[in-house]
Structure 1
Amino acid sequence: MDRVTTAGGVRATARVLARGDGRGGTVLPVLEGEGPLAVRRTRGSGAEARVLLVGAMSGPLGGDHFTVAAHAAGGARLTVGSAAATLALPGQDRTGARYDVRLAVDDDAELHWLPEQLISAGGSDLHVTTSVDLAAGARLLLREEQVLGRAGEEPGRLTSRLTVRIDGRCVLDQELACGPGAPGGWDGPAGLAGHCAVGQLVVVRPGFATESPAARAFEEGAAVLPLAGPAVLVTAVAPDALRLRRLLDGALASLD
């Protein structure tokens, strides 16, 4: 499929649908992308299907609007990652860029959403929305990592909103705005406290409904917070992407 370019930038969509095959495996009846959003199946293990998002061009640039939709239907075990970090760059269109992620997971299905970091380059303006709809018996591991600026560079403007619903009930709805023009205090003691990397994990497991992890700090810069549902939120800030990943991986391991 070809990308669609308009006066306001590039419009591109990627779609992934995974289903259980009835024999303990996972099939991908829908695997399609446009222009800068190429999707590729890679080698999975066991019942899992694994998909990579492959950036076919730079972006998103100002004026671009990218959308990724992934649906794990009943019986599916799906992992979606990315081949490289996403780099938000400035463009000629001053309206900024949008990146929308729409995830759905049915009963007896599992989705791991594990892209690489999103880097907010100087002069860029990106608005990211991630919306997740889960059935009561669904399982989810979602990771978000954002890096504010490249080495030695001031960050661009980044606004990120994450909404998670389980069985139609909202358990998480939060927004983070960083960079030039963001509300005051985003980089102060009550915000990122001078750190340039911020990330989170959302872990949904039916077993958390009866035995949820307690709220606690995890090392310096990370916290584990139970949500009002069979879900846990891990948030972390760090001086760089490497330290951020180590904090998130460590906190996830502590939940097992």
Structure 2
Amino acid sequence: MGGVHATARIRARDDGRGGTSLPVLESDGPLALRRTRAHGGEARVVLVGAMSGPLGGDRFAVEAAVEHGARLHVGSAAATIALPGQVKDEAHYDVRLTVEGDGELHWLPEQLISARGSDLYVTTRVGLDAGARLVLREEQVLGRVGEEPGRLTSRLAVRVAGRVVLDQELACGPGAPGGWDGPAVLAGHRAVGQLVLVRPEFAAQAVASRMVGEYACVMPLAGPAALVTAVAPDGLRLRRALDEALAVLGIR
């Protein structure tokens, strides 16, 4: 099997002084992790792509664990671009996130762009304890400017206290099941994104379903969770729609 295999790992821990330490911050190959200046008690990490990709046959993985009492914010330095490679195999990008106790994770990477000729399968699996908090953003842009997209398959699964609150998969681009570009899915748009919000207070008072602006909608999920879904003509308007939804919900 060809391609590059790489894994990055983060572990966040309450340092006992009102802040968050990072006892594990390991990067590998094209995945580079950089700690940036903390914000209050929150540790901040940026994922930097040291190489192009993922390309055909690559297998990337990122694992982040937040312990009880810790707060972690993870972003990325730039968009990730899925590209075709010399190896014709499907590329994989796996994300595994866990939040223990009353820990808090903001997972806010930049957009994923599916370039023409690429074939990428993204899997994100999240496990949280009952008192944990999560803000997770996922944004995908189908093709660069003036370009047809590659094939992109994305699965997102979230469990809270062992209970599934969300498990969905979307496939777009050449070879994807028919209808992905039709009125029931993307309706001709080229940018799709979502926010998964988990907060203990949502268990007592569920988020109300509503439209936010022209492109986004908010929906309650089972338990202490909510989902914001948006489609838009391009990545800029997608980000604006998701940011507006966060503001409407009063989440920073």
TM-score tier, shorter chain, comes to over 0.9
Within the candidate set 124, 127, 134, 2:128 is matched to: 134
Q: Give the whole-Å Cα distance in 2 for the aligned partners of 1:115 and 1:46.
A: 20
Query: Partner residue of 2:163?
Result: 169
Letter of the structure 2 residue corresponding to residue 15 of structure 1: R
TM-score by length of 1: 0.97
Runs of 4+ in 1 over 4 A off after TM superposition: none
Query: Partner residue of 1:120?
Result: 114
Question: How much has 1:39 moved relative to structure 2?
Answer: 0.3
Residue correspondence of structure 1 range 1-256 to structure 2 within 5 A: 7-256=1-250
Q: Give the whole-Å Cα distance in 2 for the aligned partners of 1:31 and 1:95.
A: 30
User: Cα RMSD between the aligned structures?
Assistant: 0.6
1:226-255 alpha-carbon deviations (Å, 9 max, x no partner): 000100000000001110000000011111
Q: Identity of paired residues, percent?
A: 75
What is the DSSP-based 3-state SS (H/G/I as helix, E as strand, rest coil) of the residue aligned with 1:44? strand
Q: Give the whole-Å Cα distance in 2 for the aligned partners of 1:203 and 1:234.
A: 8
1:204-241 alpha-carbon deviations (Å, 9 max, x no partner): 00000111111111111211000001000000000011
1:33-83 alpha-carbon deviations (Å, 9 max, x no partner): 101000000012110100000000000000000000000101111000000
What is the DSSP-based 3-state SS (H/G/I as helix, E as strand, rest coil) of the residue aligned with 1:136? coil
What is the DSSP-based 3-state SS (H/G/I as helix, E as strand, rest coil) of the residue aligned with 2:217? strand
> Aligned residues, how many?
250
1:135-182 alpha-carbon deviations (Å, 9 max, x no partner): 000000000000000001000000000000000000000000000000
Q: Give the whole-Å Cα distance in 1 for the aligned partners of 2:187 and 2:110.
A: 23
1:73-110 alpha-carbon deviations (Å, 9 max, x no partner): 01111000000000000012222100000000011100
Unaligned residue ranges in structure 1 (runs of 5+)? 1-6
Q: Give the whole-Å Cα distance in 2 for the aligned partners of 1:124 and 1:22.
A: 46
